[in-house]
Amino acid sequence: MTRSGRRIRRWGCLTAVLAFVAVCCAVPASNAISAYVTLRTRAQDDGGLAEGGSAADVPARMLTAYKNAAGHVGAYVPTCRGMRWPVLAGIAKIESNHAVGRTIAANGDIRPRIYGVLLNGSGQGGNTTTVADTDGGKWDGTASGERAVGPFQFLPSTWETTGKDANDDGIADPHNADDAALGAALYLCGNGRDLTQRSQLQAAISQYNHSKTYVSEVLGWIDQYTAAATGPATTNLTGTVRTVIDAALTQKGVAYSWGGGDASGPTYGICCTPSGKSGTSIKGFDCSGLTTYAYAKAGVRLPRTAAEQAGVGKRIPASLGTSVLKAGDLVFYAYAPGHDATIYHVGIYVGGGQMVNAARPGTVVRLDAVTAMSGYAGGARLL
């Protein structure tokens, strides 16, 4: 192992096993399903998070678009109830993985543009029906047929009747985050649905895509994002548990820094993650730096890496599920659950299915559902 490799093993929130070295807390890209056909994407793990009311895999600019759209939909459909940013995020997660890997400009324009497969009945991506061109290639880049476009994967024909100019640049563009999010909100609201009712929410999603599997997947993401947007109640906690959780929550919004953070608080990190991200100019925390800080406030000294922290306290097997976790427990994630040497991430459980999370470069410390990271590997009870 090289000298830089030894530094990563010491300071990064990583496993030291050669086959599993990767950036701390990276969230795997998910499949994206267009409104009519399956579109497989392999998005890169880039983009930051907005402060509060978010989730580890939502870029900040996309989150802003979702929140703005949810807030303005009433101006267009006053009778719509229950439109929330997690509803839009659930759709966009499946459709385009939140445009992760693209550049999202300040005005919301997404480049490169996101295109689905050509709907020519070829069978590619699962499409078996030919859809004739309606826009002359204006939005989907081809006049030889139709394909879904943008982060919400609208067909140009649907966008023609649904699209709105949300960022006031004079163009209703499905490749713009703000325009696309508002269009999706209006489409889901219909003539005035009450999306607080599960049956009507299901109907709205089914209108977007008739697949039962699709509806189930979107609902799952909506529930996860809803959990992430809801803060935990700590007033019923006492003693060292509350001390640890309050300490962690006071760091919400602090930047992720590779190798950053210690018992005293946020620090400048080190260089570099396997993907090239450097923490040397960022004062903040990585995942195990945050846990080290929070537990130090309660007088508990932790080793520096996530894998090492799994050896402290009473181990909680992954086989017992997340329902046995208690507030204050450490929560671990591994590339090969059951093999603690492959643990790559740690969070602090706060109850209600949530954890305080320093996810990855480009994000901030925030609340996430415990299901936000892959490879749940159980927990550890120190308090």
3, part of any domain: no
Whether residues 292 and 160 share a domain: the answer is: no
170, part of any domain: yes
What confidence score (pLDDT) does residue 230 get?
65
Q: Give dist(CA 63, CA 86) in Å, integer.
A: 9
86, part of any domain: yes
Q: By residue range, what is the domain housing residue 138?
A: 36-208
378: helix, strand or coil: strand
State percent of the chain over pLDDT 90: 67
What confidence score (pLDDT) does residue 57 get?
77
Whether residues 252 and 319 share a domain: the answer is: yes
Q: CA distances (Å), 133 to each of 156, 162, 183, in order?
A: 9, 17, 20
What residues are paired with 316 via a beta bridge? 379
Q: Which are the contacts of 45, defined by CB distance < 8 A and separation ≥ 6?
A: 23, 26, 27, 29, 100, 101, 275, 360
Q: Give dist(CA 338, CA 319) in Å, integer.
A: 9
Instruction: Find, among 77, 90, 85, 86, the residue nearest to 193 by Cα.
Output: 77
- Among 6-15, 58-67, 100-109, the least confident range: 6-15
Say yes or no to pLDDT of 129 above 60.
yes
Q: Give dist(CA 339, CA 219) in Å, integer.
A: 32
What residues are paired with 154 via a beta bridge? 149
370, part of any domain: yes
Whether residues 60 and 160 share a domain: the answer is: yes
Mean pLDDT over the full length of the chain:
84
Quote the number of domains for the chain: 2
Whether residues 174 and 286 share a domain: the answer is: no
- Whether 350 and 361 have beta carbons less than 8 Å apart is answered as no
What confidence score (pLDDT) does residue 252 get?
84
Whether residues 266 and 160 share a domain: the answer is: no
Instruction: Find, among 299, 326, 298, 297, the residue nearest to 314 by Cα.
Output: 326
pLDDT digits 0-9 by tens, 29-46: 222 222 222 222 222 222
